[in-house]
């Protein structure tokens, strides 16, 4: 899409769900968009996310409201084609370790108090609400949230990129570490690691856990609380699981091709980061996670890891999303958040609106990067 004097030219750094979603929303609004990635599309956190679509538990009211709106956008996408095997709404099931029955009941009570669909179940009641789970794995009670779902983000990125190309978006892959160019205090475009420059009326930095490092040279400080995490995909296995499971030793969701996606945090201490930026973990730890997941599935199938990816999970220092324009650098916007899957569509929609109109959306009021100034 060629840029005309009346067409806004937007450069986006980051090929994950937040960058791609915002790019597509901008293109729909008539902008000219160039999207640059350090490596490939969905090559970082988007490619290794459990991507559980939810607002379960307790958090700030604005964050809850944004997540609920995020799930709503996925419901709209799901309704357009319920047969997509990469986006499903089978609910979510969680339970705590033995001895924490009161904590589970308190969580359920809180969810009910804010109108979040929440059912407290005894182990023997689970099969009547959701299939494919071994009730013996549940020590006391569990919470089933029927309105939750999951998405395979690499599939969603591929889906959105079809529209991106159809609308004339420009894609620059493997651009290395891209920086924001500034003139007289305002963002003017981007520069690739090789020194290629692209002018733009506005820039969005959506680089996951690397976002604070990208804006730091601009004099902007954003606290970074991103931990190392891992997502494991199993080999295909027969199962009837529909819900996303969040349990004391494994989180599990269905995945296209009769595979399962697994993650948790108990093994973080086993992950080694190397000088070249790569990560490793002993194979037996990966298998241990698969064995823990097997205990949750009806029939306890033999789960074999097919692949796993390790890297930083984007989480801002205060745990809340960081979304919007940098007060210190007009024309430069950021998107840095946990819940990137749940917020992927709604954040892209709202950020695109702000970039195009200059009008700040009230749902993002508490998430401005200026709160750290």
| CA atoms within 13 Å, Cβ hemisphere of 95 | 21
pLDDT at 6: 72
Phi-psi category of 22—alpha, beta or left, where left has phi over 0 and alpha has psi -120 to 50?
Answer: alpha
pLDDT at 5: 54
**CATH second-level architecture of 86-148+225-312?**
2-Layer Sandwich (3.30)
pLDDT exceeds 80 at position 40: yes
Q: What tokens appear for 204 in the block?
A: 């969005």
Mean pLDDT of 324-347: 98
pLDDT at 65: 98
Q: Are 143 and 111 in contact (CB under 8 A)?
A: yes
Mean pLDDT of 265-287: 97
Domain boundaries in the chain? 9-47+154-222+317-372, 86-148+225-312
Mean pLDDT of 147-163: 98
Mean pLDDT of 68-92: 98
Q: Kindly write down the DSSP assignment for every residue of 287-322, as one continuous string.
A: HHHHHHHHTTBTT-----EEEEEEEEPP-BTTSS-E
pLDDT tens across 304-319, in order? 999 999 999 999 999 9
pLDDT at 1: 46
The angle at the Cα of 79, spanning 76 to 83, to the nearest 5 degrees, equals 135
> Which among 281, 234, 269 is positioned nearest to 255, based on CA atoms?
234
> Which among 327, 335, 336 is positioned nearest to 224, based on CA atoms?
336
pLDDT exceeds 70 at position 183: yes
pLDDT exceeds 80 at position 164: yes
Q: Which CATH class is domain 9-47+154-222+317-372?
A: alpha beta
pLDDT at 326: 98
Mean pLDDT of 168-174: 98
The C-alpha atoms of residue 64 and residue 333 are separated, in whole angstroms, by: 22
pLDDT tens across 100-139, in order? 999 999 999 999 999 999 999 999 999 999 999 999 999 9
Domains 9-47+154-222+317-372 and 86-148+225-312 fall in the same CATH topology: no
For tokens 């409201």, the residue is: 65
> Which among 37, 335, 35 is positioned nearest to 176, based on CA atoms?
37
pLDDT at 209: 98
- Positive or negative, the Cα torsion across 252, 211, 56, 271? positive
pLDDT exceeds 60 at position 373: yes
Rounded to the nearest integer, the mean pLDDT of the chain is 97
Specify the length of the chain in residues.
373
Can you say how many angstroms the Cα of residue 10 is from the centroid of all Cα atoms in its chain? 22
Q: What tokens appear for 287 in the block?
A: 């298998």
């Amino acid at each position: 899409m060629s840029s005309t004097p009346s067409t806004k030219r937007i450069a986006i750094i980051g090929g994950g769900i937040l960058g791609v979603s915002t790019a597509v929303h901008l293109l729909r609004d008539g902008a000219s968009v160039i999207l640059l990635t350090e490596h490939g599309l969905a090559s970082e956190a988007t490619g290794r996310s459990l991507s559980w679509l939810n607002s379960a538990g307790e958090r700030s009211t604005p964050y809850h409201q944004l997540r609920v709106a995020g799930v709503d956008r996925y419901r709209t996408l799901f309704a357009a084609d319920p047969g997509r095997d990469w986006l499903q709404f089978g609910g979510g099931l969680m339970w705590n370790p033995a001895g924490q029955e009161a904590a589970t009941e308190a969580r359920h009570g809180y969810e009910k108090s804010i109108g979040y669909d929440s059912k407290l179940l005894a182990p023997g009641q689970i099969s009547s609400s959701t299939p494919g789970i071994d009730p013996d794995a549940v020590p006391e009670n569990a919470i089933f949230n029927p309105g939750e779902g999951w998405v395979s983000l690499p599939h969603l990125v591929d889906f959105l990129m079809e529209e991106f190309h159809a609308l004339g978006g420009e894609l620059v892959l493997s651009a290395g570490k891209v920086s924001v160019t500034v003139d007289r205090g305002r963002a003017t475009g981007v520069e690739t690691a090789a020194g290629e420059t692209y002018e733009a009326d506005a820039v969005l930095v959506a680089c996951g856990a690397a976002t604070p490092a990208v804006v730091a040279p601009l004099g902007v400080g954003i606290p970074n609380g991103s931990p190392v995490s891992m997502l494991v995909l199993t080999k295909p296995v027969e199962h009837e699981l529909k819900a996303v499971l969040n349990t004391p030793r494994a989180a599990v969701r269905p995945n296209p091709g009769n595979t399962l996606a697994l993650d948790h945090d108990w093994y973080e201490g086993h992950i080694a980061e190397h000088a070249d930026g790569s990560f490793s973990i002993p194979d037996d730890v990966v298998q241990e996670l698969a064995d823990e997941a097997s205990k949750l599935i009806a029939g306890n199938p033999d789960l074999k890891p097919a692949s796993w990816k390790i890297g930083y999970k984007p989480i801002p220092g205060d745990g809340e999303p960081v979304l919007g324009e940098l007060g210190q650098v007009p024309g430069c916007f950021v998107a840095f958040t946990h819940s990137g899957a749940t917020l992927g569509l709604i954040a892209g929609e709202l950020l695109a609106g702000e970039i195009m109109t200059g009008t700040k959306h009230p749902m993002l009021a508490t998430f401005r990067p200026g709160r750290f100034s």
